[in-house]
Amino acid sequence: MIAYPEAPAADAMLAASQSNEHMLAFLNARRSFPAAALKEPGPNPEEVSQIVRMAMRVPDHRRLAPWRVIVFGGEARADAGEVFAARHLELNPNATLEELDRERRRFCCAPLVIAVISNPDGSHKTPVWEQELSVGALCFNLLLVANAAGWAGTWLTGWMAFDRQISREFGLHDHERFAGFIHLGTAKEKVKERPRPTTESLLSYWPGK
Ligand SMILES: Cc1cc2nc3c(=O)[nH]c(=O)nc-3n(C[C@H](O)[C@H](O)[C@H](O)COP(=O)(O)O)c2cc1C
pLDDT mean across residues, the chain: 97
**Which of 162, 204, 170, 149 lies closest to 81 in space, CA to CA?**
170
Interval 112-141 mean pLDDT:
98
Q: Are 176 and 119 in contact (CB under 8 A)?
A: yes
Is residue 32 lining ligand 1, measured as CB closer than 6 Å?
yes
Question: Does ligand 1 have an atom closer than 6 angstroms to the CB of 102?
Answer: no
Confidence (pLDDT) at 116: 99
Task: Kindly report the number of other CB atoms within 10 A of residue 2's CB atom.
Answer: 10
Q: Which of 155, 166, 191 to mutate to test the pocket of ligand 1 (most atoms within 8 A of CB)?
A: 155
Domains and CATH numbers, the chain: 53-72+107-185 (3.40.109.10)
With bands split at pLDDT 50, 70 and 90, how would you rate the model's confidence at 143? very high
Query: What local confidence, expressed as pLDDT, does residue 1 receive?
Result: 82
Reported confidence tier of residue 66, pLDDT bands at 50, 70, 90: very high
Q: Which atom of ligand 1 is nearest to 34's Cα? A: 21
Q: Which protein residue has the closest C-alpha to ligand 1 atom 31?
A: 155
Spacing, Cα 33 to ligand 1 middle (Å): 10
Chain segment 16-60, per-residue pLDDT in tens = 999 999 999 999 999 999 999 999 999 999 999 999 999 999 999
pTM of the model: 0.97
Mean pLDDT of 82-108: 98
Q: What are the angstrom distances between the C-alpha of 166 and each of 57, 87, 101, 163?
A: 29, 7, 17, 5
